[in-house]
Structure 1
Amino acid sequence: MRRLEQYFVNKAIDEEKLLKFGFMIKDGAYCYEKKICDGAFKVIIYLSENLQYSKVIDVLDNEEYVLADISDAGGDFVGRIKDEYEKILMDMVDSCTDPDVFKTKQAKEVIHYVKEKYGDELEFLWKKFPDNAIWRNKNNQKWYGILMKVSKRKLGMESDEISEIIDVRVHQESIAGLIDDQKIFAGYHMNKKHWITILLDGSIEIEKILAFVDDSYRLSCK
């Protein structure tokens, strides 16, 4: 049996997507079965609030095929089973989950606001930087927002605390009056003549942050 918690790190399971994928609800849990290796084996996935696991069953004797979950078990036959097994698990994760990287209340509020108002989803563009994501204007592909997790020290503060931040476009002539190096900073990893960085820690009210997002979107239209 394989515990699946590691497959859902920074991901949120979408129950509607589970049903579309083929999961059935049994006793309050989501259960999925699929045959592999020409029907000789089947993969079972079980997802509940407190437990997520998968296993491979030998159809002939209805017993668990434990070699599928032993990392150093090798050979062509076992390798084929492992490959098909892993593909099902990865397809399930790709098809049935959404990114859930950003945890602060304000980050979640901004994500919801952008989706509702502009119909835009976060794009995670960099495998090496899974904590960075962008929004782009679908009409011209220009970015108008970036969410990131960074150390406060990288913003010039005396702390190694990891914080969630948003980068937005602003009018160039406004930047000097906005930056206080406590809540608002020169654009992190962006052109500092056109972008600012805002901490999403509650130090600035959410209405003001959303207004910055709206201004950034309008600027991206030009």
Structure 2
Amino acid sequence: MSGKLYLVPTPIGNLEDITFRAIRILKEADVILAEDTRTSAPLLKHFGIEKRVFAHHQHNEHKASSEIVRFLKEGQNVALISDAGTPAISDPGFFLVREVLKNELPVECLPGATAFVPALVNSGLPSDRFTFEGFLPVKKGRQTRLKALVEEERTMIFYESPHRLLKTLEEFIQYYGEDRQASVSRELTKVFEETVRGTLSEIKNHFENNTLKGEFVICVAGRE
């Protein structure tokens, strides 16, 4: 029998957010694939998980996927984790899943942590319909993406890094208006978790005068 590829969500901050099932799968897997083995080492050590761990990231996933398929065909169970959250959501994983499915091998994704869900629910913006945009292109295609969302009526969700946050908020004001309602969450589940709500202009003013640290999730109301 072939092995199975498991996509295992890991905490985005608070280690208590991992599930009992995720810990069991990681302990039972023959091989663990980690986006960054140095980042994952403390997590695995904390839960007493001692397994073969290989790096699997955007720079090697195309080359490594064929070897992982071989592992599965040999009957080995493989667990994929990212640095934080659910694999393949703005993290490596999609290409591997596609290759495994092409080879008609089983894939199972466990439910668990992902940053945009608590940010959206906590934002106070409509959550019945939304579009997840992840990270905007840094250069090529960025303006095209922003323009394409001008008429979007659903709540829009973006990921952003600290050094680009203010620039991104400025662009949102340019395309969507300074009075558009929004929410910015940072350091979700961690000690210094913060969510700032208000108009895009108010939020920009807040972060111009406060420390920019952590990973950010931006929720922007859709066009009325």
TM-score (norm 1): 0.30
Could you say which structure has the larger radius of gyration?
Answer: 1
Query: RCO greater where, 1 or 2, for CA within 8 Å and sep 6 or more?
Result: 2
TM-score (norm 2): 0.30
